[in-house]
Amino acid sequence: MLQQLLLLCALVPSPPSGRDVIKAMHDRYAGKWYRTLTFVQQNTATRPDGSRQHSVWREYAALPGKLRIEFVPPDSGSGILFVHDSQFVFAADTIGNASAFIHPLMVLGFDVYFDPVEQTVARLERLKFDLATVHGDSWEGRPVYVVGAKSGDLRTRQFWVDRERLVFVRLLEPGQRDTTRTSDIRFNKYQAAGSAWLSAEVAFLVDGQERWLEQYTAIKTDTPLADVLFDPRQWKKARS
């Protein structure tokens, strides 16, 4: 009986560590992922009473680590710039706030395919993901790795990765303003983009109720983008 148990343990591989998942993601697409991404983002905000509000953003990404969001109409001069773990918020072409910020969706959805594995691991650890805890699950009928929480725990900060495609699909964590609630961010509607993938829809839920939906149109990859787009000192010039 003991010999059979030992044989079974040898045949069933242990779940990988979070670092192993990150390394697999990086190694699968290193040198194959698109370097730039542009799109028009159609937003739908759903209030608790069910009413909806719509808005439009234009976005430009230079990977790794740079994302420019312009709120429409563009001549309002309002938007957000993310540059290498810093965030700049603009209103009327003026910086209203600048702060350090690691954008988890940029790290897991894009930068992971460019940055050295240990750099990504360090950033995720700073975001308080428990990379030592991993289990298997399924999402939308596909097997996934869940990093950061034990099976059945949907409250602890965790990210989900499609096991076959090795792309990020979900992030769960306690709400930032109200930790009794659960934030659930989902990368949906993946489509092929050359040798890589692109999520054309991102949904933000709170306690299972959709509160914000992003739908991407006019998507372009590997279009040359000027460095000035990501220079906070030249926000207005780049917009013009």
Around 131, how many Cα atoms within 13 Å sit in the side-chain half-sphere? 18
Q: Is the dihedral of CA 13, 19, 24, 25 positive or negative?
A: positive
Task: Give the pLDDT band (50/70/90) at residue 74.
Answer: confident
CA distance 30 to 73: 36
Q: Write out pLDDT tens, residues 80-128.
A: 999 999 999 999 999 999 999 999 999 999 999 999 999 999 999 999 9
pTM: 0.92
The strand pairing partners of 162, in sequence order, are 144
Helix or strand holding residue 221 (H, E): strand 209-221
As given in the structure block, the two tokens for residue 39 are 């799109």
Q: Tell me which fold the domain 15-239 belongs to.
A: outer membrane lipoprotein receptor (LolB), chain A (2.50.20)
Helix or strand holding residue 186 (H, E): strand 182-193
